[in-house]
């Protein structure tokens, strides 16, 4: 039906004289222009005496026909006109009252039917839904008839519109009738509970009835509170039960499924305003109440088994509850510390410690990046945990990391490409940042670097310099200055050797045809090596003397000290199956050339002739007679070299390679070397502590013991115990660098 609010009044029922009078008023003569005058009617048209009753009777029959779903005998146009006429003749109030009363009677009658009819819950809900839908449709049709009343009288007097009146009446009889309301709400809760249990329910019915409660503005009080209470009871019991029955991954999957289901209920039939409280209730009962148990029961397993999907789900779920991520981060931190300690503390794992740490760091980084969405809290916690456990064992991780770098820079491109080696060095630097005893790393790294450079075992100069650059960037130039000096020495040595060769060419002498290369090492840059006197062949001694004279002529005032422990040679050897070249240490060389004159030699004889230190000689003979390339035969056979052992040249020696490297013995660290390196670190630390104490006291002049200790902890870059600091303070007092205050023994004074 078209909107007739602005329709012009119909004057067809007005008396004839009124029409004529209006016509005369609009009569215009052609000869003269006159003003248009519209005169007010002096009296309204008179309605028949029974007009109100007859018109209402017509309207009432139409409303009843709509309510009873029967055909209407009057047209909608005619009914609309009747309402308009009654409103225009000041019958709007009466019309509204009669319509209100008629609607109320119908609604009350319908509600009473629910009390008399016996039916099950589902049928009751279905009946209520149908009644509600019918009522809404009826009110729409009624409003279309009484639209003029709705848009004039009702709007002007600020009373309930016809639609609102219908809602208020329906709500009135629902609210007044506790039984009806209770049955509706209980029926709704029953259907939702069945759906939660996995049964199929009529969601359209649920949506219709919940929309009814929303439209009637009783959704909050009548349904929502009871629904949330039922939800809380259900999930509280379910959470307690399933935490006992299910493994954590299965429980997490169940919780995620429940949250998804409740979100779908909001989409399909619940009021959107219920969503926050509903999901919060589910999260509280299934997650917040069980966070501690979930983490204790399942986190370690998920991390150990590297179950990324389950860890992602755990993070996403715990991020929904208060302090969930805080608890997860604490448990994550505790796991890393516990797992890390098992790697670091156990001495049996020293050989694999660094690789295990790298693998462990990679896996935990993967968890943080892919499962925990690179959350800053977890990244910081990971770093703190690694720094904590890696320093639980003083100095050892630093030493092993240095040795691991050595093994990779020696193997280098044989095991990985340059890009892979570079990535590995970056990962090692991450571990390096965690260790406190960086001076221990420096000492062992320096010792191993020296061997790689001097024995020619460094696989890649670029990789060596890349590692040096990383250390310099991390610790500064002071940390790497000596290491850089070692590289400079090697480059200068190349120039010196080139000049020496030219010198020999120009000043030819009757020298043995031996090619000699000498590395000139600045004592302050390189590790300290114990001088060892051995008996060299005359040919080698002559070449050494020639080089010494040449070098000192170029650099007067300097002193050369030969280090035979670092020398290596290439020997040409003849076997029955053909010649070979043997790459061996100088000590191995001294032993092997003895067999040019003798086929078999005793241990004591070798020791006497070579003058090699006993332990070093035994290691040397082991490498030649008990290793993979056995160019000597030990008599009797055995791993250890005894005083009465004899050695014979192995003329039957075979190897598929022409050049065979047997000088790996120089790369292996002896127990004495390790102890010497540790002792060197200890001495350096004592010097640093003494220097720090003097520096502080010189600036402060007077300082209490506790404040001095606090200052030292700030300045020193390595871990130190209070007892060690106390010893150094006592040492400085004994050497008169500082003194105790006479009046206050726990206070020190600087002695100028």
Higher pLDDT, 449 or 115: 449
Q: What is the pLDDT of residue 356?
A: 95
Half-sphere exposure at residue 321, Cβ-oriented, CA atoms within 13 angstroms: 21
pLDDT digits (tens, 9 = 90+) for 711-721: 887 888 777 78
Helix axes 121-145, 51-67, angle to 10 degrees: 150
Query: What percentage of the chain carries pLDDT values higher than 70?
Result: 91
Contact 639, 561 (CB under 8 A): no
Locate 544 and state its tokens.
């050494």
Identify the CATH assignment for 50-176 out of 3.10.20.30, 1.20.58.390, 1.10.150.20, 1.20.1310.10: 1.20.1310.10
User: How many angstroms separate the CA atoms of 488 and 491, rounded?
Assistant: 5
* Per-residue model confidence as pLDDT tens digits over 357-413: 999 999 999 999 999 999 999 999 999 999 999 998 888 999 999 999 998 888 655
State the average pLDDT over residues 31-56: 66
pLDDT of 310: 95
pLDDT of residue 15: 35
- Per residue in 254-266, pLDDT (tens digit) is 999 999 999 999 9
Q: What is the structure's pLDDT at 173?
A: 85
* Distance of alpha carbon 547 from alpha carbon 511, whole angstroms: 12
pLDDT digits (tens, 9 = 90+) for 290-300: 999 999 999 99
User: How large is the average pLDDT for residues 542-552?
Assistant: 88
> Looking at the domain covering 672-750, what would its CATH class be?
mainly alpha
In words, the CATH class of domain 180-287 is mainly alpha
| Cα 628 from Cα 626, distance rounded (Å) | 7
Mean pLDDT value across residues 125-135 = 91
Q: Quick one: average pLDDT of 58-72?
A: 91
* Strand boundaries in 247-403, DSSP class E: none
* Local confidence band at 243 (pLDDT 50, 70, 90 cut-offs): very high
pLDDT (tens digit, 9 = 90+) per residue, 564-588? 888 888 999 988 888 988 988 899 9
Does the pLDDT at position 3 exceed 50? Answer: no
Top-level class of domain 325-490: mainly alpha
Task: Provide the β-strand partners of residue 649.
Answer: 632
pLDDT at 314 over 90: yes
User: Which CATH topology does 567-669 take?
Assistant: Ribosomal Protein S5; domain 2 (3.30.230)
The model's confidence at residue 252, banded by pLDDT at 50, 70 and 90, is very high
Could you read off the pLDDT of 430-459 as tens digits, one per residue? 999 999 888 889 888 888 898 888 887 787
pLDDT of residue 201: 93
**So what's the pLDDT on residue 683?**
73
354, 406 in Cβ contact below 8 A? no
pLDDT per position as a tens digit, 374-385: 999 999 999 999
The DSSP string of 647-665 is: EEE-TT---S-SEEE-GGG
What does the CA dihedral 77, 80, 82, 87 come to, rounded to 10 degrees?
Answer: -150
Residue 34: CB partners within 8 Å, gap ≥ 6? Answer: 28
Instruction: Taking the CA atoms of 96, 99, 102 and 107 in sequence, report the sign of the dihedral they define.
Output: negative
The pLDDT score that the predictor gives to residue 315 is 96
Query: Encoding tokens for residue 649?
Result: 């040249």
Flag whether pLDDT at 11 surpasses 50. Answer: no
Write out the residue limits of the CATH 3.30.230.130 domain(s) in the chain: 567-669
pLDDT of residue 329: 96
- pLDDT for residue 42 is more than 90: no
Quick one: pLDDT at residue 39?
Answer: 57
The torsion region of residue 374 among left (phi > 0), alpha (psi -120 to 50) and beta comes to left
CA proximity to 255, closest of 285, 277, 212: 285
> Where exactly does CATH 1.10.10.10 map onto the chain?
672-750
- Residue 657 scores a pLDDT above 90: no
Among residues 265, 250, 187, the alpha carbon closest in space to that of 223 is found at 187
Mean pLDDT of 666-690: 71
Mean of per-residue pLDDT scores for the chain: 86
Is-contact 702 744, C-beta < 8 A?
no
Tokens, residue 515: 């090619």
**Sheet with 738-740: strands ordered across:** 702-704, 747-750, 738-740
Segment 202-219 shows an average pLDDT of 93
Q: Report residue 478's pLDDT band, with 50, 70 and 90 as the boundaries.
A: confident
In the predicted model, is pLDDT for residue 669 greater than 70?
A: no
* pLDDT score recorded for residue 716: 80
28: pLDDT confidence band, cut at 50, 70 and 90?
very low
Overall average pLDDT of the 589-613 stretch: 89
Asked if the model's pLDDT at residue 19 lies above 50, the reply is no
> Look-up: residue for tokens 């200068």?
492
For residues 489-494, average pLDDT: 90
pLDDT on residue 366: 96
Q: Max CA-CA distance within the chain? A: 161
pLDDT band with cut points at 50, 70 and 90 for residue 72: confident
Pick from 277-281, 303-307, 415-419, 692-696: least confident:
415-419
Ranking 35-44, 530-539, 669-678 by mean pLDDT, the lowest is 35-44
Domain with CATH 1.20.1310.10 in the chain: 50-176, 180-287, 325-490
List, in order, residues 6 or more apart from 353 with CB less than 8 Å away. 343, 344, 397, 400
User: Can you give the pLDDT at residue 24?
Assistant: 34
Least confident of 46-55, 137-146, 365-374: 46-55
Q: What percent of the chain has pLDDT over 90?
A: 43
Closest CA to 571 of 551, 585, 553: 585
- 728 token code pair: 């150094």
Q: Where are the beta strands (DSSP E) in 151-239?
A: none
């Amino acid at each position: 039906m078209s909107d007739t609010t602005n329709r012009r009044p119909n004057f067809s029922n007005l008396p004839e004289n009124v029409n004529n009078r209006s016509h005369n008023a609009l009569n215009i003569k052609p000869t003269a222009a006159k003003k248009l005058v519209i005169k007010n009617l002096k009296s309204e048209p008179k309605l028949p005496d029974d007009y109100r009753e007859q018109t209402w009777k017509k309207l009432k029959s139409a409303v009843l026909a709509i309510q009873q779903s029967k055909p209407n005998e009057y047209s909608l146009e005619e009914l609309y006109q009747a309402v308009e006429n009654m409103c225009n003749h000041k019958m709007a109030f009466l019309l509204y009252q009669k319509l209100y009363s008629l609607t109320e009677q119908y609604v009350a009658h319908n509600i009473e039917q629910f009390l008399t009819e016996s039916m099950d819950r589902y049928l009751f809900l279905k009946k209520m839904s149908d009644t509600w839908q019918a009522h809404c449709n009826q009110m729409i049709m009624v409003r279309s008839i009484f639209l003029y009343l709705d848009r004039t009288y009702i709007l002007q007097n600020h009373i309930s519109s016809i639609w609102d009146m219908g809602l208020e009446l329906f709500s009135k009889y629902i609210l007044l009738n506790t039984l009806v309301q209770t049955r509706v709400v209980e029926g709704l809760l029953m259907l939702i509970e069945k759906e939660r249990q996995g049964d199929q329910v009529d969601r359209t019915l649920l949506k219709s009835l919940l929309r009814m409660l929303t439209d009637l503005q009783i959704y909050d009080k009548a349904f929502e509170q009871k629904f949330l209470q039922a939800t809380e009871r259900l999930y509280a019991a379910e959470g307690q039960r399933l935490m006992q029955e299910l493994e954590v991954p299965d429980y997490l999957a169940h919780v995620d499924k429940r949250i998804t289901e409740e979100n779908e209920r909001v989409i399909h039939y619940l009021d959107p305003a219920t969503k926050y409280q509903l999901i919060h209730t589910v999260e509280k009962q299934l997650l917040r109440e069980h966070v501690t148990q979930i983490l204790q029961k399942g986190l370690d397993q998920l991390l150990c088994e590297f179950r990324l999907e389950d860890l992602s789900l755990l993070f996403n779920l715990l991020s929904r509850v208060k302090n969930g991520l805080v608890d997860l981060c604490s448990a994550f931190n505790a796991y890393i510390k516990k797992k890390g300690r098992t790697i670091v503390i156990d001495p049996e794992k020293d050989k694999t410690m660094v690789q295990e740490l790298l693998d462990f760091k990679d896996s935990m980084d993967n968890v943080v990046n892919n499962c925990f969405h690179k959350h800053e809290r977890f990244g910081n916690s990971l770093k703190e945990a690694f720094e904590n456990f890696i320093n639980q064992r003083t100095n050892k991780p630093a030493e092993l990391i240095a040795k691991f770098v050595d093994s990779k820079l020696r193997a280098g491109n044989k095991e990985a490409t340059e890009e892979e080696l570079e990535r590995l060095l970056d990962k090692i630097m991450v571990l390096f940042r965690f260790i406190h005893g960086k001076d221990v790393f420096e000492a062992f790294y320096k010792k191993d670097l020296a061997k790689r450079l001097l024995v020619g075992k460094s696989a890649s100069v670029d990789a060596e310099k890349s590692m040096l650059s990383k250390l310099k960037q991390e610790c500064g130039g002071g940390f790497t200055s000596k290491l850089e000096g070692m590289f400079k020495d090697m480059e200068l040595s190349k120039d010196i050797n080139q000049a020496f060769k030219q010198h020999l060419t120009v000043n030819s002498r009757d020298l043995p045809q031996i090619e000699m290369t000498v590395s000139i090492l600045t004592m302050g840059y390189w590790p300290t090596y114990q001088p060892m006197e051995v008996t060299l062949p005359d040919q080698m001694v002559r070449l050494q003397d020639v080089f010494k004279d040449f070098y000192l002529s170029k650099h007067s005032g300097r002193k050369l000290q030969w280090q035979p422990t670092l020398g290596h040679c290439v020997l040409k050897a003849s076997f029955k199956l053909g010649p070979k070249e043997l790459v061996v240490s100088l000590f191995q060389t001294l032993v092997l050339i003895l067999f040019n004159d003798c086929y078999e030699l005793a241990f004591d004889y070798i020791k006497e002739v070579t003058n090699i230190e006993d332990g070093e000689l035994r290691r040397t003979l082991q490498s030649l007679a008990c290793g993979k390339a056995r160019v000597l035969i030990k008599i009797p056979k055995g791993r250890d070299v005894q005083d009465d052992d004899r050695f014979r040249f192995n003329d039957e020696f075979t190897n598929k390679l022409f050049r065979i490297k047997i000088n790996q013995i120089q790369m292996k660290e002896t127990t004495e070397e390790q102890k010497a390196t540790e002792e060197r670190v200890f001495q350096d630390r004592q010097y640093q502590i003494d220097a720090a104490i003097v520096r502080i006291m010189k600036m402060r002049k007077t300082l209490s013991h506790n404040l001095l200790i606090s200052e030292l902890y700030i300045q020193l870059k390595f871990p130190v115990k209070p007892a060690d600091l106390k010893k150094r303070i006592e040492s400085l007092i004994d050497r008169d660098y500082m003194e105790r205050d006479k009046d206050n023994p726990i206070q020190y004074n600087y002695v100028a």
